[in-house]
Chain A
Amino acid sequence: MIEIENVHKSFGPLEVLKGIDLTVKKGEVVTIIGGSGSGKSTLLTCINGLETIASGRVVIDGTDVHAKGTDLNKLRQKVGIVFQQWNAFPHLTVLENVMLAPRKVLGLSKEKAEEIAVKQLTHVGLAEKLGVYPNRMSGGQQQRMAIARALAMSPTYMLFDEVTSALDPMLVGEVLDTLRMLASEGMTMICVTHEMKFAREVSDRVAFFHQGIMAEIAPPEQLFDAPQHTETKKFLAATH
């Protein structure tokens, strides 16, 4: 379970998160929508401790992420994250990209790491690309590789930050299909997305962010068809 309690976060004078509360239970899929600069990406990086917070708490399975003695490297093993910008390790082949963390972080043998990597890459439809370097692949393939790389650590939770928004429209579908597949397999996920149709399909709940506040959170039917908050209405009207 991920428990986010009254999280505040500033970059210099700019308060980006103004008291966020959100609890995500095992198996749940929560998507976050909202305008640019509303703090969606920042929240995800605060969840896995890439960014510090000013106040509040993020607790993952009982571990306070931002507490002093927390072993973040250990914690991150169970919270996978995939970013908007494709960030393959360019000097490694696709297979090596996925094998690296299982080998070095989990300490698995080469054989075991390779077995897991091949399995995950096959899962996302990249079985043909094992020996290829990332720059020889499309953006969609690179994103799927990034997903496989995160999954190879057998995370309990997955965070996705607009993983399709830097892609050609043609390639969005294949990545969304991968996310749908994960959701249907019961993965606990927080997805930041601009794909409203996708959000409606996969989400248990949809959260709307506005200027550092979670203005509204509700099941997709309610949030999309009967939004309560005026800003949600405005935002949905603008995106349709």
Chain B
Amino acid sequence: MFSTALTWSDLAFLAQGAGMTLAVTAVSVAAGTVLGILFGIIRFQFGPYWSAPLTFALDIFRSVPLLIQLVLGNALQSIAKMGWPPFTTSCVVLSLYTAAYCTEIVRGGIDSVPVNTRRAARSLGMSWWQDMRYIVAPLAIRVSLPSWIGLTLGVMKDSALVLWLGLIELLRASQILVTRLQEPLFILLLCGAIYFVISLPIARFGRYLEERWSPND
């Protein structure tokens, strides 16, 4: 019969790790999305030439491995004597990383709204802002949603790297248990299952929205 040394308190420890994963992901995705929307609008509005410096900066965040960004970010904040705890540093770095990807998603979404549709809105006397709010946003969100869900799930998995700054998130918590209990397969399976369970609602919610909108497109 199957037996394990895993106790309830070990499970609680894993749950705490999952909580940390969720917290880092939620903060980073929220902040990264806000920044991404801002940068995406800037990129669209100012065109490739004027937004080149921004694009360049974001390209760095997209191409340098996240682990290096985290370690460098942590080093920088300590050199600059910011005194950030690892959680703050992790969230700041992950937010910028998320923003870099989100910017492209947002720009692509805005780009997908036909110029003529927007001209029609402006011709009715709508301001730039009203056009953005009532025409561009709803249409761009429909187009961008699948990529954004993908980004969120990706960031959740990538957030495991914050363990390098000493945060005990889900993967780190599992590692600690593996070392102590010497049951790697079972514990990693459990860890994977927890990742799956917390991803599921996000993926489901995305699919729900897509289905709700699709009949009108």
In the complex with contacts A91-B138, A91-B139, A50-B125 CB distance below 8 A: no
In the complex with contacts A73-B125, A101-B125, A133-B216, A83-B120 CB distance below 8 A: yes
Q: How far is the CA of A64 from the CA of B213 in the complex (A)?
A: 42
Interface size of A as a range? 20 to 34
Q: How far is the CA of A228 from the CA of B122 in the complex (A)?
A: 39
Q: How far is the CA of A194 from the CA of B142 in the complex (A)?
A: 37
Q: Is A212 in the interface zone, CB < 8 Å from B?
A: no
Smallest Cβ-Cβ distance to B121: which chain A residue: A89
- Residue-wise, chain A 78-96 has the 8 Å CB interface mask toward B (1 for contact) of 0111010101111100000
Q: Let me know if B124 and A105 touch, CB within 8 A.
A: yes
Q: Let me know if B122 and A50 touch, CB within 8 A.
A: yes
Q: Let me know if A105 and B130 touch, CB within 8 A.
A: yes
Chain B proximity of A48: nearest CB distance (Å): 6
Smallest Cβ-Cβ distance to A77: which chain B residue: B125
Q: Let me know if B134 and A83 touch, CB within 8 A.
A: no
Could you say which residues of chain A place their CB within 8 Å of the CB of B116? 83, 85, 87
- Count of residues in B whose CB is under 8 Å from the partner chain: 22
Chain A proximity of B210: nearest CB distance (Å): 13
Chain B proximity of A225: nearest CB distance (Å): 35
- Residue-wise, chain B 117-144 has the 8 Å CB interface mask toward A (1 for contact) of 1011111111100100011001100100
Q: Is B53 in the interface zone, CB < 8 Å from A?
A: no
Q: Let me know if A50 and B139 touch, CB within 8 A.
A: no
Chain A proximity of B83: nearest CB distance (Å): 47
- Residue-wise, chain A 107-129 has the 8 Å CB interface mask toward B (1 for contact) of 00000000000000000000000
**Which of B120, B123, B135, B138 is most buried by chain A, counting CB atoms within 10 A of its CB?**
B123
In the complex with contacts A85-B116, A91-B139, A101-B126 CB distance below 8 A: yes
Chain A proximity of B133: nearest CB distance (Å): 8
Could you say which residues of chain B place their CB within 8 Å of the CB of A100? 124, 134
In the complex with contacts A89-B135, A101-B124, A105-B124, A83-B216 CB distance below 8 A: no
Could you say which residues of chain B place their CB within 8 Å of the CB of A85? 116
Q: Let me know if B125 and A146 touch, CB within 8 A.
A: no
Contact of B216 among A79, A87, A90 (CB under 8 A): A90
Contact of B117 among A45, A48, A89 (CB under 8 A): A89
Q: Let me know if A104 and B130 touch, CB within 8 A.
A: yes
Q: Let me know if A90 and B125 touch, CB within 8 A.
A: no
Could you say which residues of chain B place their CB within 8 Å of the CB of A81? 123
Could you say which residues of chain A place their CB within 8 Å of the CB of B134? 89, 100, 104
Q: Let me know if A73 and B126 touch, CB within 8 A.
A: yes
Could you say which residues of chain A place their CB within 8 Å of the CB of B121? 89, 101
Q: How far is the CA of A88 from the CA of B216 in the complex (A)?
A: 12
Q: Is A153 in the interface zone, CB < 8 Å from B?
A: yes
- Residue-wise, chain B 75-108 has the 8 Å CB interface mask toward A (1 for contact) of 0000000000000000000000000000000000
Q: How far is the CA of A91 from the CA of B120 in the complex (A)?
A: 14
Q: Is A74 in the interface zone, CB < 8 Å from B?
A: yes
Could you say which residues of chain A place their CB within 8 Å of the CB of B138? 91
Q: Let me know if A87 and B124 touch, CB within 8 A.
A: no
Q: Let me know if A91 and B142 touch, CB within 8 A.
A: yes
A and B contact pairs by CB, cutoff 8 A, 22 listed: A50-B119, A50-B122, A50-B123, A74-B125, A80-B124, A81-B123, A83-B120, A87-B120, A89-B120, A89-B135, A90-B117, A90-B139, A91-B138, A91-B142, A91-B213, A101-B124, A101-B125, A104-B130, A105-B130, A135-B217, A150-B123, A153-B124
| Chain A interface residues (CB < 8 Å from chain B) | 45, 48, 50, 73-74, 76-77, 79-81, 83, 85, 87-91, 100-101, 104-105, 133, 135, 146, 149-150, 153
**Seed contacts A77-B125, A133-B215; 13 additional CB < 8 Å A-B pairs:** A48-B123, A50-B119, A76-B123, A83-B119, A85-B116, A89-B120, A90-B217, A91-B216, A101-B125, A104-B130, A149-B120, A149-B124, A150-B123
